[in-house]
Amino acid sequence: MTLCQHYLVPVVTQGGLTGLCAGAHPDAGELALSLERLTGVEEVDADGVMVVRAGTLLQVVQEVAAQHGWHCGIDIGSRGSCTIGGNVATNAGGNCVVRYGMTRDNVLGLEAVLADGRVLTSLNRMRKNNCGYDLKQLFIGSEGTLGVVTRVALQLHPEPLSQECAFIALRDYESAIALLRRGQKSLGGIVSSFEVMWPDYYSFVVDVAGAAAPLQARHAIYALLEVRGFDAVADRGRLENVLAEAFETGEVEDAVIAQSLDDVRRLWDVRDDVARWLDPYIPSRTTFDVSVPIRAMQLAVDQVRARILHRWENGTVLCFGHIGDGNVHIAVSLPDHRAHIDELNHIVFSQITELGGVISAEHGIGRKRRAYLRYSRSEAELEVMKLIKQNLDPNSILNPNKII
């Protein structure tokens, strides 16, 4: 970094290259800095604090945590290819945010190399540390624009002993949220995932892409509920009770509970293996990753779908997501897709903004969403972001033309 600063060579940091906003793509004349060899877990201490080098794969972090009797609260579909440094740089979300929070909530401290080569070691290990500005937060979610993250201190969690998973058909969206709240109240905080699929997505995956259907009849909405608890015998019963109560109220119309880890994987495949189901049929598509307040989610999905199909009647719109976190993914494919991307972005982002949402929930801004950041940030916020960037990287050599 010292040399690059001296010669004013822009640097684009690369982790596992699984990012979905073109944040790790260098332009001509920019240097790609791979963290592929900066790997390894340095320590897991008795308090469940792990210190790990930034290029380590997330899956390795999870495996080493488990070997020490702990659980990593970060989990995303790209776990086998993405790096913990990339997760920090994008503040990755994923399947367990409803239980463990975003990456930000799992990071206690970090080390970053600044634009001029100075090493900022801030490997805090304590949950409470109010000694001035919390500098790690500057780098979490900064997508390589403020520093190169080189080491991370993570707070791990007690390793769950049970895993129960149910695929559920519900009367409507309100029933899905009622079931989530019922589960969160009755299951003592062990709900680890709550994923929702609208019928457009479910029918496409099952009828067009040929996935094995967990439930045969068609319903208004589907949810995948997972609990990871500490009592392998009682947790199954607790989950069954919650579902039985929701059957009685009419919220739940049908459900299947996984009987083995293979079943768990098969149920998750329907929701999680999105590229496998969609790529062969709609390879040219935009997948939006937006946040909307949970109470406005159904309205957002209905209005976005209606506006897109009004404009392009032959379009395909498929909705699914981490609804427990208010995060929906909307996959859209249009005839002559590339020609309409800007107009499509404006339609979706303006609708989401009107309902109080934001244009990126967990994938970040990178290069792809940069032109649209104004939908979700005020002038004052953009000004402060620019001030931070100018002060930490006055020559703009760190991932230029990304985010702002």
Residues that bind ligand FAD (CB under 6 A): 12-20, 23-24, 35, 54, 76-78, 82-83, 85-87, 89-90, 92-94, 143-144, 148-149, 275, 362-363, 366, 399, 402
Place of tokens 């001029």: 116
> In the complex with ligand FAD, which residue's Cβ is closer, 59 or 184?
59
Query: For residue 358, what are the CA distances in angstroms to 309, 336, 369?
Result: 22, 27, 12
CA distances from 187 to 76, 139, 163, 190 (A): 23, 35, 13, 6
Closest separation in Å from C-beta 57 to ligand FAD: 8
- Could you tell me the strand order of the sheet in which 316-322 lies? 252-257, 164-170, 221-227, 191-197, 316-322, 327-333, 286-291
Least CB distance to ligand FAD at residue 377 (A): 18
Q: Which residue is nearest to ligand FAD (CB)?
A: 86
Rounded Cα distance, 112 and 15, in Å: 14
Residue 147 CB, nearest approach to ligand FAD (Å)? 7
Whether 326 contacts 370, CB under 8 Å: no
Structure tokens at 305: 């779908």
Give the nearest distance from C-beta 357 to ligand FAD in angstroms.
16
Q: How far is the CB of 55 from ligand FAD (least distance, A)?
A: 7
Q: How far apart are CA 327 and CA 332, in angstroms?
A: 16
Smallest CA-to-CA distance from 305 within 201, 210, 176, 224 is with 201
Cβ closest to ligand FAD, residue 20 vs residue 178? 20
Q: How far is the CB of 150 from ligand FAD (least distance, A)?
A: 7
Taking the least distance from each CB to ligand FAD, the nearer of 56 and 345 is: 56
Q: Which residue number, 35 or 153, has a Cβ lying nearer to ligand FAD?
A: 35
Nearer to ligand FAD, 246 or 292 (CB): 292
What the block records as the tokens of 45 is 């201490």
Residue closer to ligand FAD by CB (options 204, 277) is: 277
Which has the closest alpha carbon to 326: 347, 303, 356, 368?
356
d(CA 163, CA 291): 27
| Least Å from the CB of residue 155 to ligand FAD | 18
Of 246 and 398, which CB lies nearer to ligand FAD in the complex structure? 398
